[in-house]
Each structure stands twice: as C-alpha cells, then as structure tokens.
Amino acid sequence: EEHDIMPKANLTREELAALLGLRAQTLASWACRNRGPRFWRRRKRVLYRAGDIAAWLADPVAYDAARATSSPS
C-alpha cells in the first residue's frame, strides 16, 4: 500500500520545501535548471501537483532527465 504524504492536491513552494526539509529558494533554483517536480503558476503563486511530487520522489534522477529533454510548453 502506498502512503500518501501529501496534505493536499496542490502545494505551494513554501509548503513543499517544509515537507522536504529544504529552503523554498532551493526549489526555485532547481526549477530554473529543470530539476525537481514540475510546477505551475496560478497568478503569482507557484504550485506543485501531488502527482508530480510523487513521481519525482519515486525516481528523481529519471524524472529530472525526462524533464530536461521534454520541449518547453
């Protein structure tokens, strides 16, 4: 059985950083280099979907590699 560590469907950068024990700035830096979970913007807020977080946590190296080779939207 898979454990759901996500408190809700979408997390802010600050919430995800706290969950992972990182600084929000670390996630921002990763985002600039196509690392870490995919994110989307809602107005000025950066949000991460629980499914993207789970996929990244399952295999960060493969996830980042796939993200780096995908075409930008």
> What was the pLDDT predicted at 3?
45
> What was the pLDDT predicted at 8?
77
CB atoms within 10 A of CB 34: 15
State how far the alpha carbon of 6 is from the alpha carbons of 61, 62, 68, in Å. Answer: 21, 21, 25
- Quote the tokens at residue 68: 């780096």
Listed as ranges, residues in the chain with pLDDT below 70 are 1-7, 71-73
Cα-Cα end-to-end distance for the chain: 34
DSSP 9: S
DSSP secondary structure, 36-63, as one string:
SS--EEETTEEEEEHHHHHHHHH-HHHH
Q: What is the pLDDT of residues 29-43, one digit of tens each?
A: 999 999 999 999 999
